[in-house]
Amino acid sequence: MKMTAAQAMAQCLKEENIKVVFGYPGAAICPFYDALLDTDIKHILVRHEANGGHEASGYARVSGRPAVCIATSGPGAVNLITAIATAYADSVGLICITGQVSRDQIGSDAFQEADITGSAEPFVKHSYLVSNAEDIPRIFKEAFYIAGSGRPGPVLIDVPMDVQKEIIDFSYPERAVIRSYKPTGKGNYLQVKRVYSALKESEKPLICIGGGVPSSGASEEIKRLARIMDIPVITTMMGISVFPDDDPLYFGMLGMHGVKSANRAVNECDTLFLVGARVGDRAVRTPLALERTTKIIHIDIDPAEIGKNIGVDHPLVGDAKAVLGQLLELAENDEQPKRGEWKARLASYRTERKFSPAVPGTVNPREFIERLSAEMPADTVICADVGQNQIWTCTGYRFKEGGKLITSGGMGTMGYALPAAIGAKLADPARQSVAICGDGAFQMSMMELATAVQNDIGVKLVVMTNMRLGMVRELQTNGYADRQTAVFLEGSPDIIKLAGAYGIKALRVNSSETMESAVNALAHEEGPLIVEVIVDKDFPTL
Amino acid sequence: MKHTISVLVENHSGVLSRISGLFSRRGFNIESLAVGPTQDPEVSRVTIIADGNEYTVEQIEKQLNKLIEVIKVKTLKTGECLARELLLVKVAAGADKRQEIMTICEIANAKVIDLTLNTMTLEVCDKYDHLKRFEQLIAPYGIIEMVRTGTIAIQKGSEVFAHKKQI
């Protein structure tokens, strides 16, 4: 069928069953916007391109499929880079469509020209600069395949304006054929058997769940395997919410900001089974010491992650869901040892939560998180931002079966939570979606409140106000002789009034009573809703 | 330790910048990089000489393989491959030095490819170490300009490093 390349681009999105896109228009992407108008694809006008990318990221993480964000050439495209890098660090499938100046202008430093494929190169799984309009159907098919398969990641498609206007004969390919890209599915059978034996024979095994597990949709498989083989479980930040918090096998998040039971478990286990976890520096500070004392089994879909940060005894390349399925087959037909003593020992490392009384006029943020997790529905999507609030949320929120955490774990991008929560809410409007951020990060993406209002997106937002960039303040206190600088947020707007300006209901929490009513409102009222939680400026992260 | 890494890539624009960018951002040391077409016009072959231990080479191979347009990667073992590099060098040499330099060229298997009253331009194609020695021999005469291609390499014997044709 004959159509313009811009119409073809829109048609490709239809073929990929895309319902919602996040974007910001400009001259170089206008032909595509014009074509989108004739489809039933819902366009969400974001208030900044980076937030558009984060919204697509939240959408992708809830829907389990790559999501689409759009920007114009030059500044629009360059603004998108933070979101691309954030998605890349957390292996989130994005399709980023950017306009580009016309082909005859490329390289001439034309108005709003930027080499976006070049500048985004370190952060993309792949990128295309479309020079032939006829290639559009193939490129889109490939882009969706690459973004969503293997280790997911962002794929950038940069389309010059004159290309968008050309007429092509459209037909959408049934599958993408890329000879140099064949992601592994199942694991090598012999290696799977070795891994199984190593796990079974281990006296003190430990499973560490990373972001690869939720990403491959392997949550059920890992839970079954852990329960059948009676193996204790910890997670990285990216693996939180796969295991319900109250599960007797679950011992929390490891790492620099992790909980004691998880870190003791890592130190004392004899076999560490890493599933889709890349052993980042915040999770394991001294991998060399660990690999000397502990047998390491590592499943990852990306062969480059195996052996990169930690030496491995049993490497296993494959998709977590597929490989865990193979292990389950072996485990289900076999007698399993019970590991009561090992579990009891780890259980003795669990610490009881005690909430110190808050300074008058503030509340204990950890107590607030605890109360919030008690009231919210089990399937709530929690989007944690970056900083102290991230650690309070990640170690304090008691996720239930079916719950989900979304956070910028790898890149640590401030301002991620609110747009991600908006995207998450759109991907599954029936679920509650709550962003939790600090007053620093809030001001990096607060313009997205307009996006939520305009599109009637019932997102909930908790802002922890301590008038500080709290984690940096703490770093200066502990590491720089308390010489505090550039961490003071005085001058910030009154959040309740600001919410009023957007027409959003807002509540302030500064006492036990206001905490109860705010938690209730978060759990039961319709969004959008903002809750500002007043936190003491010196409240510690851990 | 030096390693010879052969990479087959799709002959697309931008591939080379993806490869060189990967090396710089991951902190891999690259000594030379040579690229050119193969018998298949759709495929180019890149030869990289990189410095590093076993861990580094394994990471280089794996990271290269992650690039979508990289078809195949192989580290060629020293002793099992034939490696060549081309050197062009312009030497300051008047009539009195010509004969001496030509003797060196003869022994070193180099050619004189251009001659003026006060310069000689020499060409030699050989292994990296051989070029290094030749350079040392010529240096005393005064090297005015020098250019090298970087090493390319192919496996010895009948074994072939190739890719499957696109279906």
In a domain, A178, yes or no: no
- Please give the pLDDT value at position B1: 86
Rounded to 5 degrees, what are φ and ψ at A409? -80, -40
Among B12, B43, B76, residue at a domain's last position: B76
> Which of B5-40 are b and which e, b meaning 16 or more Cβ less than 10 Å from the residue's Cβ?
bbbbbbbeeebeebbeebbeeeebebebbbbeeeee
| pLDDT in the model for residue B78 | 86
Residues A123 and A222 in one domain: no
ipTM, 2 decimals?
Answer: 0.92
Residue with tokens 């939560």: A353
How many Cβ atoms from other residues are within 10 Å of residue A429's Cβ?
11
Candidates A106, A149, A158, A180: best to mutate against B (most CBs of B within 10 A) is: A180
Which chain B residues contact residue A117 at CB under 8 A? 14
When CB atoms are compared, the residue of A121, A146, A181 closest to B18 is A121
For residue A496 the two structure tokens come to 């309740």
Q: How many residues does chain A have?
A: 542
Report if residue B55 sits inside a domain.
yes
Contact B71 A179 (CB under 8 A): yes
The residues, ordered by sequence, that sit 6+ positions from A109 with a Cβ below 8 Å of its Cβ are none
Residues 6+ apart with CB under 8 A from A127: A117, A120, A121, A155, A156, A157, A158
Of B40, B61, B76, the last residue of a domain is: B76
Which percentage of chain A shows pLDDT scores above 90? 96
Report yes or no on A235 lying in a domain: yes
Contact criterion met (CB below 8 Å) for A463 and A532: yes
State the DSSP H helix or E strand holding residue A259, giving kind and residue range, or none if neither. Answer: none
CB burial readout B46-85, b (16+ within 10 A) else e? bbbbbebeeebbbbbbbbbbbbbbbbbbebbeeeebebbb
- Asked whether residue B8 is domain-assigned, the answer is yes
The reply to whether B62 and B110 lie within a common domain is: no
**Domain end point (choices A169, A199, A214):** A169
Q: Is residue B167 part of a domain?
A: no
Q: Write out pLDDT tens, residues A104-137.
A: 999 999 999 999 999 999 999 999 999 999 999 9
**HSE-up of residue A217 (Cα within 13 Å, Cβ side):** 10
Question: Hey, are the CB atoms on A303 and B59 less than 8 Å from each other?
Answer: no
pLDDT at B7: 97
A352 CB neighbour count, 10 Å cutoff? 4
A201 has pLDDT over 60: yes
- Distance CA(B5)–CA(B23), nearest Å, equals 13
Question: Helix count (H) and strand count (E) of chain B?
Answer: 4, 9
pLDDT in tens, A279-294: 898 888 889 889 999 9
Mean pLDDT over A519-540 rounds to 97
A363-378 mean pLDDT:
98
DSSP for A81-101, please give it. HHHHHHHHHTT--EEEEEEE-
Q: What is the pLDDT of residue A285?
A: 85
Residues 91-150 of B with CB under 8 A from A: none
φ, ψ dihedrals at A379, nearest 5° = -90, 15
Mark which of B76, B99, B127 sits at the end of a domain.
B76
Residue A265 vs residues A252, A392, A450, B63: alpha-carbon distances, Å: 10, 21, 45, 32
With beta carbons less than 8 A apart as the criterion, state whether A33 and A72 touch: no
Q: What is the pLDDT of residue B165?
A: 67
> Taking Cα atoms as reference points, which of A447, A465, A471, A460 lies closest to residue A521?
A460
Owning domain of residue B88? 82-152
Whether residue A178 and residue B68 make contact (CB cut-off 8 A), yes or no, is yes
Does some domain include residue B163? no
In a domain? residue A174: no
Q: Are residues A340 and A407 in the same domain?
A: no
CA–CA separation, A533 and A317 (whole Å): 44
A464: which strand partners? A438, A533
Helix (H, G, I), strand (E, B) or coil at B124: strand
Asked if the model's pLDDT at residue B164 lies above 80, the reply is no
Token pair in block for residue A67 = 């999501």
Same domain, yes or no: B128 and B68: no
ω into A528 cis (within 30 of 0)? yes
A483 and A411 in a common domain: yes
Measured between CB atoms, which of A117, A125, A146 is closest to B14?
Answer: A117
- Percent of chain A scoring above 70 in pLDDT: 100
> Closest approach of chain B CAs to the CA of A304, in angstroms?
5
Question: Which of B21, B62, B164 is facing A122, going by the closest CB pair?
Answer: B21
CB < 8 Å to B72, chain A: 180
Q: How many CB atoms lie within 10 A of CB A58?
A: 30
- A269 shares its domain with A233: yes
Which is nearest to A126 in space by CA: B17, B46, B67, B72?
A: B67
Say how far residue B43 (Cα) sits from the centre of its chain: 18
Structural domain including A119 reads 2-169
Q: Is residue B159 part of a domain?
A: no
Please answer yes or no on whether B68 and A303 come within 8 Å at the CB atom. no
Same domain, A334 and A386: no
Ramachandran category for residue A100: left, alpha or beta (phi over 0 → left; psi -120 to 50 → alpha)? beta
Amino acid occupying residue B8: L
Instruction: Decide: A275 and A207 in contact? Cβ < 8 Å.
Output: yes
Residue of B nearest to A177 (CA): B167
Number of domains chain A contains: 3
H helical segments located in A490-529 = 495-502, 512-524
Residues from chain A contacting residue B28 (CB–CB below 8 Å): none
> Is residue A296 a part of any domain in this protein?
yes
For residue B26, the chain A residues in CB contact (below 8 A) are none
Alpha-carbon gap, residue A109 to A111, rounded angstroms: 7
Query: How far, in whole angstroms, is CA A511 from its chain's centroid?
Result: 32
In this model, does residue A501 exceed pLDDT 80? Answer: yes
Let me know whether B64 and B126 are in one domain: no
Give, as one character, the DSSP assignment of residue B164: P
Q: What is the DSSP letter of A123?
A: G
Torsion angle, alpha carbons of B73, B76, B81, B86, to 10: 70
What totals of helices (H) and strands (E) does chain A contain, helices first? 23, 20
For residue A411, what is the domain's CATH number?
A: 3.40.50.970
Residues A198 and A150 both lie in one domain: no
Distance CA A25, CA A49 (A): 10
Q: Each residue of B15-67: pLDDT tens digit?
A: 999 999 999 999 999 999 999 999 999 999 999 999 999 999 999 999 999 99
| CATH assignment of the domain containing B99 | 3.30.70.1150
Q: Do B17 and B68 share a structural domain?
A: yes
Please give the share of chain B, as a percent, with pLDDT higher than 90.
93
B14 & B52 share domain:
yes
**How many angstroms separate the CA atoms of B16 and A4, rounded?**
32
User: CATH number for the domain including B63?
Assistant: 3.30.70.260
Angle at A37 between CA A34 and CA A39, to 5 degrees: 125
- Neighbouring CB atoms inside 10 A of A489's CB total 17
As for how many domains chain B has, the answer is 2
Average per-residue pLDDT for chain A: 97
Of B21, B55, B62, the CB nearest to A121: B21
**CATH no. for residue A334?**
3.40.50.1220
Domain identity same for B95 and B121: yes
Report pLDDT digits (tens) over A479-500. Answer: 999 999 999 999 999 999 999 9
At A377 the three-state DSSP class reads coil
Q: Count CB pairs under 8 A between chains A and B.
A: 40
Chain A interface, Cβ < 8 Å to B: 117-118, 121-122, 125-126, 129, 146, 177-181, 302-304, 307-308
B24 to chain A: nearest residue by CA?
A122
Question: Which chain A residues contact residue B166 at CB under 8 A?
Answer: 177, 179
Q: Would residue A539 count as lying in a domain? A: no
Q: Which amino acid is at B49?
A: I
> Among A211, A152, A210, A154, which Cα is nearest to A183's?
A152
What is the predicted pLDDT for the residue at B166? 56
Considering the domain architecture, whether residues B68 and B133 belong to the same structural domain is answered as no
One domain for residues A513 and A455: yes
As a whole number, mean pLDDT of residues A368-396 equals 97
User: Mind listing the pLDDT tens digit for each residue in A179-194?
Assistant: 999 998 999 999 999 9
